[in-house]
Amino acid sequence: MVTPHADQPDLTGRRVLICRPEPEAGRLARAFESAGAETRILPLIDREPLPETPENRTTILNLDQFTHVIAVSPYAARRLLEEIDTWWPQIPMGIRWYAVGAGTAAVLAGHGLSVRRPASGWTSEALLELPSLARPDGERVLIARGEDGRELIRQTLESRGARVTLLPLYRRFCPDYSQKEVNLALEEFAPEVIVALSGETLNNLIALCAKSGHNLYDRLLIVPAERVAQTAREAGFEEPCVPGSLADNDIVATVAAQLYGRNGGAANKT
C-alpha cells in the first residue's frame, strides 16, 4: 500500500471510482493512490476521432483566416493540433488561442502557443468573460469540439457579432459494460467517492444506476461545475461537490476535505 507523503492528504483505504476516460482517468487514479486511496476506473464516457471530411479539411486549410481559436477540452486540443500538423508546416501567426481550462491550456502551450484562459473557473461561462471575447463583432471564431456539446459559446459569440465556425473532431459515447463489470465496480468495490467530470458522464452514471439497480445516491460525487451539481441533486444525489479546480491534486484535496472535514477531524472509514 502506498504511504502518503507528509504534505499529501491521507486517504488510506478510501475507495474512489473514477468515471473519466483514459488517459485522464489513469493520471487521476495515480494521484489518489499516492494519497493512499484505492481506485477503480469505469469510464462512463469515451471518445473516438471522427473521419476527416472535406468541410473540416477546408476549415483547417483556412485556419489563418480566424482571429480566435477555442478548444473546449484537452482532447479537442490534441485532435486540433493533430489536424493542424497534417496540413500546416507551421502554425499560422496572429491567431488568439483559447482554452476553457488549465488542462486544455497545457496541451496548447505544449505546442508552443500562447493561450488565453479564464483567470478563475474552467467553464464556458468563465471563458466568455475574457475581455478579448467581449466584442468580437465581425471577427471569425473557430471552436474545436466534439460533434455534440453545449452551444453556449457559439450562441453567445454569435450574439456578440462574431462569425463562428464549429470544427467537430470527435464523437463521445458511453462504453458498454457487462453486468459482471458493473457489479465489480459498483457493488463489490463499493465506492465511497465517485468522480464524474462532465454533465454527460453524470447522465450516463444516472442511467447506469437505474439500469443496474445500484443505489449510489448517498456517495460523495465530484462534478465539474455548479450546473452539473444541480442536475445531480435533481436526480437524487445527496452530496455533489465541485472541487476548487479540475487539477488532479485539487480533486484529491477536495475529496479529503469532504471525507474528513475541513477542520482536520477524522471521518469514519468503512
d(CA 70, CA 119): 16
Q: What's the whole-number average pLDDT of the chain?
A: 89
pLDDT number for residue 211: 83
One CATH from 3.40.50.10090, 3.40.50.2300, 3.40.50.720, 3.30.200.20 for 48-172: 3.40.50.10090
d(CA 1, CA 3): 6
- Which residue, chain included where needed, has cell 469515451? 46
Percent of the chain with pLDDT over 70: 93
Taking CA atoms, 24 is separated from 7, 74, 195, 230, in Å, by 23, 9, 12, 24
Question: If DSSP states are collapsed to H, E and C, what string results for 47-107?
Answer: EEECCCCHHHHHHHHCHHHCCEEEECCHHHHHHHHHHHHHHCCCCCCCCEEEECCHHHHHH
Do β-strands 140-146 and 115-116 pair in parallel, antiparallel, or remain unpaired? unpaired
Mean pLDDT of 151-166: 96
One CATH from 3.40.50.10090, 3.40.50.10860, 3.40.50.300, 3.40.50.10300 for 15-45+176-260: 3.40.50.10090
pLDDT number for residue 232: 95
pLDDT number for residue 136: 94
Is a pLDDT exceeding 90 seen at residue 215?
Answer: no
Band of residue 1 on the pLDDT scale cut at 50, 70, 90 = very low
Q: Which of 83, 78, 94 is closest to 58 using CA atoms?
A: 83
Band of residue 268 on the pLDDT scale cut at 50, 70, 90 = very low
**What are the tens digits of pLDDT across the range 122-135?**
788 889 999 999 99
**What are the tens digits of pLDDT across the range 10-67?**
899 999 999 999 888 999 999 999 999 999 999 999 999 999 999 999 999 999 999 9
Q: Which residues of 152-162 are buried (b: 16+ CB within 10 A; e: fewer)?
A: ebbebbeebeb
- 97 alpha-carbon distance from chain centroid: 19
Question: In what helix (H) or strand (E) does residue 206 lie, and over which residues does it extend?
Answer: helix 199-212
Q: Where in the chain is the domain with CATH 3.40.50.10090?
A: 15-45+176-260, 48-172
String of DSSP letters for 147-181: SS---HHHHHHHHTT-EEEEEEEEEEEPPP--HHH
Band of residue 263 on the pLDDT scale cut at 50, 70, 90 = very low
d(CA 107, CA 142): 17
**What are the tens digits of pLDDT across the range 71-106?**
998 899 999 999 999 999 999 999 999 998 888 999
Question: In what helix (H) or strand (E) does residue 18 lie, and over which residues does it extend?
Answer: strand 15-18
**What are the tens digits of pLDDT across the range 168-212?**
999 999 999 998 999 999 989 999 999 999 999 999 999 998 888
Vertex 210: Cα angle to 206 and 216 (nearest 5) = 60
Contacts of 249 (CB under 8 A, 6+ apart): 31
Do β-strands 140-146 and 68-71 pair in parallel, antiparallel, or remain unpaired? parallel
- Kindly tell me the burial class for residue 4, based on how many C-beta atoms sit within 10 Å of its own C-beta (0-12, 13-18, 19 or more): middle
**What are the tens digits of pLDDT across the range 217-234?**
999 999 998 999 999 999
d(CA 236, CA 127): 30
pLDDT number for residue 5: 54
Query: pTM for the full model?
Result: 0.81
DSSP character at residue 255? H
